[in-house]
Amino acid sequence: MSDWQKNGTDEAEESKLDSILQPSTRAGSFKISVIFGYKISPNYSAAVDIARRHPSYMEKGEGEWIRHSVTFEKDDVEELFELFSLVHDWEKTEILVNHKSLPYGHQLWLPLMWFNRIK
């Protein structure tokens, strides 16, 4: 078991493990994970508050070395947009697509989620 501390259910961890153990040739749901660390910024506490409200929120480490992780699906696009607008230019922010680090996460994959904001 990893040393990520969970808030609520561990659906994200189970989904990640399932995709590794039983890879599918069909596309499942499209998920974006935002991982960010401590930053001396007025936006830091707001970003952590947004992240902690989400059921997939996990944290690892403590103090200056803490890492916050949240996984969003298309129905969570507004929360994703709100969080990303706070942490997008932080040096240690990572974007994962379906729990995998893919090239151009910030520039290509994340903007695909913004189409779900159009109602």
Mean per-residue pLDDT of the chain = 84
Instruction: List the domains of the chain with CATH numbers.
Output: 5-18+31-117 (3.30.70)
Structure confidence at residue 18 (pLDDT):
74
Q: pLDDT tens, 19-75? A: 777 766 665 678 999 999 999 999 999 999 999 999 999 999 999 999 999 999 988
Question: Left if phi > 0, otherwise alpha if psi is -120 to 50, otherwise beta: which for 98?
Answer: left
What tokens appear for 24 in the block? 């599918």
